[in-house]
Amino acid sequence: MTLYILCFILFLVGVYGVLTRRNLIKIVISLTIMEFSVFLMLVLVGYISGGLAPIVVHPEGSDISVVDPLPQTLVLTAAVIAVATNSMVLALAIRLYKKYGTFDIRKINELKG
Amino acid sequence: MEGMSIIVKKIVQLISALIFVFGMYSAIHGHINPGGGFAGGVLLSGAFILLIIAYGLDYFKLKQQTEATSIFESLSILIALLIAFSGLFAGSLYFFNNYFPAGTPGSLISGGLIPIYNVLIGVKVAATLSTIFFALIIYKEEIRR
Amino acid sequence: MEEWIIILFFVIPLFGAFVMPLTYLFSPESPKLITPVITLILLMLSLYSVICQPEQIAYSIGGWKPVDNVPIAIYLVYDGLSGFMLVIINLVAFFSSVYAIKYMEEYTGQKYFYVLMCLMIAGMNGVVLSGDLFNLFVFTEISAKSSYALVAFGVKKDELEASFKYQVLGGMASLIILFGIAMIYWQTQTLNMADISYMLQNAENNIFPVFVQLIFITGFGVKAALIPFHAWLPDAHSSAPSPISAMLSGVLIKTLGVYVIMRLYLSVFQLNESVSIVLLALGGLSMIIGVLLAFGAWDLKRLLAYSSISHIGYIITGLGIGMIMLSRGENHLAATLAFTGSLFHIANHAVFKGLLFLNAGAIEYAANTRDMKQMGGLAKFMPVTLTSSFSASMSISGMPPFSGFFSKLIIILAAVISGFYFIAGLAVIAGIITLSYFMKFQKYAFYNKPSGKSPVKEVPGLMRFSMISLAVLCLLMSVLILPGIRDGFLNPAVNTLMETTEYASKILGR
């Protein structure tokens, strides 16, 4: 249970970072922290104690316990998506830096939404 | 971006070849070992990125490289899509139908079509990550000039 | 209908998206041809499936059979609601892609525009068809990521800023959704929606699903831009290129937000009255605050974006009323009415908001401004834009022969029958304010005295084609509510929502 609570604390650290930091790059880093806390949580949820990696190398009928591959594939896919997010956001941050000459979001305020 | 010193260049030459081989191993053995297409692809693109960082931008003609990588990216995913679609015509009308013989579990030639998908994913991921890296670095160089 | 046809809904746009970078090498004009053809094929396919397939299909990818009655394959599920959403998505996508051919000519890097648009369509079609939470999440992310890139497509200052804001909020929403999915997996050990539904029916812990539902309201509420989570929408939707604004406002927020909420809360989770009341409150709040925000806007596209918030509010209100009535189990007529109104409003809003964004794009294309104070006197020069935007404005503000009137009327009727007089009053007030600010748009854009600039030209033919077709649809959509025609298109979707537990039992066969 401690591990789950630690994951949740990590998630909150990320949320705190996104909400309070003023630097674009630091916001991206906080978003990444949030991402990894959720991935950790998923892997923890899917783990069975003593389970092996879910690869079929043993002939059928042998009695071994493997962990469920579903959360692991989900984490892998979500990690790929996280790569896409991070590269997109960083590319935007570089573009914004070129337009405004700063990474400070207080100075990047053309829009008021 | 300029290249680094001769020591770095020589060591990177050695190491990146090893990383490249390990990436290929990881992608090909994805169905029997931990690893697989994505991890293998990341390793492959890591080898290229290491070389570029050590040798500098001007050594490689990066604009042409970007076009080549984006063609590889599209081609690999198209082939994967076609193979997945071909499952419809192989008997049972199922998308992603694994119609190759399964082979013996644990050996390299097993798992039907899964190793082929793994290799294609490896190519795709390597090409994509290289494209992202090239795009970011070329743009950054343009800002500097 | 052959079962395997439903995979074409995302295979064709994916194929198109990845074949275009290759054909571009041989002919730079080819993406302009390929995208409308793809969307036309998809539109035909979706109409064909709605006509030929009133029943539910569960298609397992890879052909894996259930083991001990536990489904292990990835399921694609087509039913009335999916067919309904597919028609709307592909309709708006087709007209936007035809419109984009001329509109996008002033932008650089056009091939990426078409690639991203195809990816977005593939993602939305996939969301509507997927039968497990894993694929739902992945397809959500595909369409969301391509929409982030499309919002920033013009790479001007405000577009980049809007896209950054959209991405940070959208990324947080995705993570909250993923967190909810992790919680569901923890409880049920499965991600198949039918199986989750079955497990939750037999679960003893009642507080857990409510917790997950609240998490999902936050996550999908950001995607749907309900009012406390709406901060990204006015910026993102007003900064994107106009055909993309039409897609974003017309279908993306409905597919990623409203459709998923409908599917999860009615077919997968147990109905719960307190959660339904939360949804109803959020819907009512969005309805009235969105209208008030739109009333003060002078930027045309920003006005339309705020108005999207209020119309999502209408849809969620109808959904909330229906869910409350169903969970009380007393008044099935009111629930049916509420769901009908809600779904009908989804269709109508997709058509008229898409059309209004295309009109805004036409005005921007011709007169080169988005500020309503600088327009004026355009009626003489742009008759097609004038007529089509008049049709859309009348429809969105609920004038009787147009389609918007009927959907709003049904939602208000449902609220009155169920006894939510306050919500009904709010809906009427919101409708009146909507009428007033669309009158403002008509007056300032078309009838004020000209701003003294050189006369503007009407937009090219392909753009006119999209606008005229959608304007005619605005009028024709009212036919959908007539009894005979209703059975073909609206009723299967409403029945899917009403038969809450049928979804799982049909797939699992128990």
Q: Which residues pair with C60 in a beta bridge?
A: C75
| Contact across the interface for C191 and A74, Cβ inside 8 Å | yes
Residue C139 has pLDDT above 60, yes or no: yes
Residue C220 has pLDDT above 70, yes or no: yes
* Domain encompassing residue C285: 3-508
**In the A/B pair of chains, how many CB contacts fall below 8 A?**
31
Task: Give me the residue from B105, B125, B129 closest to A57, CB to CB.
Answer: B105
What is the separation, in whole angstroms, between the first and last Cα of chain B?
Answer: 11
pLDDT score at C309: 92
**Most confident stretch, B31-35, B137-141, C197-201, C348-352:** C348-352
- Of C393, C222, C391, C390, the C-alpha closest to C309 is C222
Q: What is the DSSP string of A4-23?
A: HHHHHHHHHHHHHHHHH--B
Contact predicate C240/C146, CB 8 Å? no
Distance CA C250, CA C378 (A): 25
Answer whether C148 touches A (CB < 8 Å).
Answer: yes
| Contact across the interface for C178 and A96, Cβ inside 8 Å | no
Residue B43 has pLDDT above 90, yes or no: yes
- Chain A residues with CB under 8 Å of B106 CB are 57-58
Provide the whole-model pTM. 0.93
CB atoms within 10 A of CB A113: 18
pLDDT score at C62: 78
Q: What is the DSSP string of C95-135?
A: HHHHHHHHHGGGSS-HHHHHHHHHHHHHHHHHHHHB-BHHH
Question: How confident is residue C205, by pLDDT bands cut at 50, 70 and 90?
Answer: confident
**Mean pLDDT in residue range A99-107:** 83
Distance CA C364, CA C107 (A): 14
Mutate to test the interface with C, among A4, A86, A110, A112 (most CBs of C within 10 A): A110
Q: What stretch of H or E contains C44?
A: helix C30-52
Question: How confident is residue A59, by pLDDT bands cut at 50, 70 and 90?
Answer: low
The C-side interface with B (CB below 8 A) comprises 2-4, 7, 11, 14-15, 18-19, 21-22, 25, 59-63
Answer whether C175 touches A (CB < 8 Å).
Answer: yes
Answer whether B93 touches C (CB < 8 Å).
Answer: yes
- Phi, then psi, of A66 in degrees rounded to 5: -115, 155
pLDDT digits (tens, 9 = 90+) for B101-111: 777 777 778 77
Q: What is the DSSP string of C345-368?
A: HHHHHHHHHHHHHHHHHHHHHHH-
**In the A/C pair of chains, how many CB contacts fall below 8 A?**
94
Q: Cα distance from C7 to chain A (closest Cα, Å)?
A: 20
CB atoms within 10 A of CB C492: 21
- For residue B114, the chain C residue with the least C-alpha distance is C62
pLDDT score at A58: 61
| Contact across the interface for A88 and C148, Cβ inside 8 Å | yes
**Mean pLDDT in residue range C412-434:** 91
Question: How confident is residue C127, by pLDDT bands cut at 50, 70 and 90?
Answer: very high
pLDDT score at A113: 56
Answer whether A30 touches C (CB < 8 Å).
Answer: no
Domain coordinates of chain B in residue numbers?
Answer: 6-144
pLDDT digits (tens, 9 = 90+) for C45-80: 999 988 887 788 888 887 788 887 788 888 889 988
Answer whether A92 touches C (CB < 8 Å).
Answer: yes
Q: Which of residues 197-256 of C touch A (CB under 8 A)?
A: 231-235, 239
Q: Cα distance from C154 to chain B (closest Cα, Å)?
A: 16
- Of C483, C197, C160, C178, the C-alpha closest to C340 is C483
pLDDT score at C71: 83
- Chain C residues with CB under 8 Å of A104 CB are none
Residue A56 has pLDDT above 70, yes or no: no
Distance CA C290, CA C94 (A): 28
- Distances in Å between the Cα of A62 and the Cα atoms of A49, B109, C488 are 18, 21, 53
Contact predicate C163/C152, CB 8 Å? yes
pLDDT score at C146: 92
CB atoms within 10 A of CB A111: 17
Domain count of chain C? 1
Contact predicate B76/B126, CB 8 Å? no
Answer whether A90 touches B (CB < 8 Å).
Answer: yes
Give the three-state DSSP class for A54. Answer: coil
pLDDT score at C398: 83
pLDDT above 70 coverage of chain C, percent: 99
Tell me the average pLDDT of chain B.
Answer: 84
| Contact across the interface for C178 and A42, Cβ inside 8 Å | yes
| Contact across the interface for B143 and A87, Cβ inside 8 Å | no
Tell me the average pLDDT of chain C.
Answer: 88
Cβ density class C257-285: b for 16+ within 10 Å, e for less: bbbbbbbbbbbbbbbbeebbebbbebbbb
| Side-chain-side CA neighbours of residue C236 (13 Å) | 31
pLDDT score at B72: 87
Enumerate residues 6+ apart whose C-beta is below 8 A from C473. Answer: C91, C351
pLDDT above 90 coverage of chain C, percent: 37
The reply to whether CATH 1.10.287.3510 applies to domain A7-48+67-100 is yes
Q: Which residues pair with C59 in a beta bridge?
A: C76
pLDDT score at C174: 92
Domain coordinates of chain A in residue numbers?
Answer: 7-48+67-100
Mutate to test the interface with B, among C3, C5, C11, C30 (most CBs of B within 10 A): C11
Task: Give me the residue from C19, C25, C62 closest to B98, CB to CB.
Answer: C62
CA angle C377, C310, C131 (to 5 degrees): 125
Task: Give me the residue from A58, A76, A90 closest to B38, CB to CB.
Answer: A76
Task: Give me the residue from B32, B105, B136 closest to A94, CB to CB.
Answer: B136
Chains that touch A (3 or more CB pairs under 8 A): B, C
- Phi, then psi, of B47 in degrees rounded to 5: -60, -45
- Distances in Å between the Cα of C38 and the Cα atoms of C9, C45, C97, C115, C260 are 10, 11, 10, 12, 25
pLDDT above 90 coverage of chain B, percent: 26
Q: Which residues pair with A23 in a beta bridge?
A: A104
| Contact across the interface for A56 and B135, Cβ inside 8 Å | no
Mutate to test the interface with B, among A55, A74, A80 (most CBs of B within 10 A): A55
- Chain C residues with CB under 8 Å of B97 CB are 62-63
- Of C490, C168, C486, the C-alpha closest to C318 is C490
**Mean pLDDT in residue range C425-454:** 84
pLDDT digits (tens, 9 = 90+) for C349-389: 999 899 999 999 988 888 888 888 877 777 778 888 888 88
Task: Give me the residue from C155, C168, C233 closest to A18, CB to CB.
Answer: C168
How far from chain centre, in Å, is Cα B120?
A: 8
pLDDT score at A97: 87
| Side-chain-side CA neighbours of residue A54 (13 Å) | 10
pLDDT above 70 coverage of chain A, percent: 89
- For residue C11, the chain B residue with the least C-alpha distance is B81
Answer whether B95 touches C (CB < 8 Å).
Answer: yes
pLDDT score at C345: 92
Angle, in degrees to the nearest 10, between helices C157-188 and A2-20: 170
Residue C500 has pLDDT above 70, yes or no: yes
- Of A35, A20, A30, the C-alpha closest to A105 is A20
| Contact across the interface for A76 and B34, Cβ inside 8 Å | no
| Contact across the interface for B136 and A98, Cβ inside 8 Å | no
**Mean pLDDT in residue range C473-477:** 86
Q: What tokens appear for C378 in the block? A: 């355009």
Mutate to test the interface with C, among A1, A13, A24, A85 (most CBs of C within 10 A): A85
Task: Give me the residue from B74, B88, B96 closest to C18, CB to CB.
Answer: B74
Task: Give me the residue from B38, B106, B129 closest to A57, CB to CB.
Answer: B106
Distance CA C335, CA C326 (A): 6
Answer whether B107 touches A (CB < 8 Å).
Answer: no
**Mean pLDDT in residue range C338-352:** 91
pLDDT digits (tens, 9 = 90+) for C75-99: 889 988 899 999 999 999 999 999 9
Q: What stretch of H or E contains B44?
A: helix B37-55
- Phi, then psi, of B102 in degrees rounded to 5: -75, -30
Sign of CA dihedral C180, C184, C187, C189: negative
- Phi, then psi, of C371 in degrees rounded to 5: -85, 125
pLDDT digits (tens, 9 = 90+) for A8-38: 899 999 999 988 988 889 999 999 999 999 9
- Chain A residues with CB under 8 Å of B138 CB are none
Contact predicate A1/A51, CB 8 Å? no
| Contact across the interface for B132 and A58, Cβ inside 8 Å | no
Chains that touch C (3 or more CB pairs under 8 A): A, B
Question: How confident is residue C454, by pLDDT bands cut at 50, 70 and 90?
Answer: low
Contact predicate C286/C226, CB 8 Å? yes
Q: Outline where C152-297 has alpha helix (H).
A: 157-188, 193-201, 207-224, 233-239, 242-247, 253, 260-262, 273-295
Contact predicate B28/B110, CB 8 Å? no
- For residue C143, the chain A residue with the least C-alpha distance is A81
